[in-house]
Amino acid sequence: MPTYEYDATNKVWTAKTHYPIGDLYPERTRTYELGLDARLWRHISLSASWYWADTYNQTFDPQISVSSGYSTIYLQTGHVRNTGVELSAGYDNTWRDFRWATNFTFSWNKNEIVELVHNYTHPETGELITKERLEIKGLGKAKYILKPGGTLGDLYTNSDLVYNKEGFIEVDKSGNVAVKDDYMEDIYLGSVFPK
């Protein structure tokens, strides 16, 4: 059943669009890291590390069927894995009143959704819910869609430009670019995370 809250600024009652929050649990992370730091010939420094982090009970707010009376629900579930490598090499030396210090750093991180919603207990019905896809808010026609094997930053859309037979983007008589908005499959745009 929808709930309402009073907006004192506008002096109106508004429907809450989030499903009421039940019990909240802390996010849990299990991390492993191996590293090595070395200093050579007094001027050269080297550092290397590898890490692995598994995070559980992350909080998501996916869209749900509007027939429920709400548009989103907070879910605390999932298993996300981050693995990565960080390497750095530096040089530091002083000649009389002149000092030179430089450092080179390389880092690589892989973020992967291992599991999304598995046996989540619905707060009202007690029904166990398992989902292999969560659609999260986005910007404009782009939206975050979380899927196992993907990342938390994957952007998708159901809109694309219309191309003619020669492969050029179609433009109408007014100079507007033609767009098709009803693709049934998700079109992958990329990730907001750096490579």
User: For the chain, which residues make up each domain, given as ranges?
Assistant: 24-191
Average pLDDT (173-189) is 82
Neighbouring residues of 195: CB distance < 8 A, sequence distance ≥ 6: none
Whether the pTM exceeds 0.85: the reply is no
- CA angle 160/185/113 to nearest 5° reads 110
pLDDT score for 1 = 54
Mean of the per-residue pLDDT values for the chain? Answer: 84
Instruction: Reply yes or no on whether the pLDDT at 2 is more than 70.
Output: no
Q: Which of 106, 179, 190, 105 is nearest to 144 (CA)?
A: 190
Q: Whole-angstrom Cα distance, residue 62 to residue 134?
A: 6
Where do the H-state alpha helices sit in 5-162? none
**Mean pLDDT within 143-153:** 88
Closest CA to 60 of 85, 32, 27, 106: 27
Dump pLDDT digits (tens) for 43-98: 999 999 999 999 988 877 776 666 666 777 777 778 899 999 999 999 999 998 99
What span, in angstroms and rounded, lies between the C-alpha atoms of 105 and 51?
A: 16
Return d(Cα 60, Cα 50) in angstroms, integer: 28
